[in-house]
Amino acid sequence: MDSINADTSRLLIRFNPVLKPIKDIVFAQRCLSDTALTNTDTASIVLNLEGDIIEGRFRITSDVKANADNRFSISRILFNKTQTLSIIEVAFNCKGNCGKGYFVLIKKGSNGKWFISKVKQTWIA
């Protein structure tokens, strides 16, 4: 723990500000069989970030010119008809040669708060 606390390395993550819809809704439903989702809105949303997010040693940027080896992306959120279940697609790529992708199922609890119910890995490179 002492060596971790003494580490002064900085981490730069490039965030893709374009939130695209989940491409393969059929695969998403197969991975999360207890979900009935509909993909009616296929438009992408572009987040207009006012600058980098800096938290301690971490810097998250959407600047495509940033010298970052890593890129984090998320899809648009997709809800079921009653808006009690939702899913997002999350991906993390490193240098274009490796990465992982996941579906994240988020449920609305009886108290009205949302929580992550299931994470299903969908690909690895």
What secondary structure does DSSP assign to 18-85, as a single string? EEPPPS-HHHHHHHTTT--B-------EE----S-EEETTEEEE--TTS--SEEEEE---EEBTTSSE
Q: What is the pLDDT of residues 13-42, one digit of tens each?
A: 677 778 887 777 777 766 655 556 665 566
pTM of the model: 0.67
Inter-residue contact 29 to 38 (CB < 8 Å): no
Higher pLDDT, 104 or 57: 104
Residue 3's identity, in one-letter code, is S
Question: 77 is written with which tokens?
Answer: 């959120």
Q: What pLDDT score was predicted for residue 30? A: 67
pLDDT bracket for residue 2 (50, 70, 90): confident
What is the rounded distance in angstroms from the CA atom of residue 109 to the CA atom of residue 5? 36
The candidate with the shortest Cα–Cα distance to 66, out of 10, 15, 19, is 15
Q: What is the pLDDT of residues 95-120, one digit of tens each?
A: 767 889 898 989 899 999 999 998 98
Q: Is the pLDDT of residue 83 over 70?
A: yes
Q: What pLDDT score was predicted for residue 38? A: 60
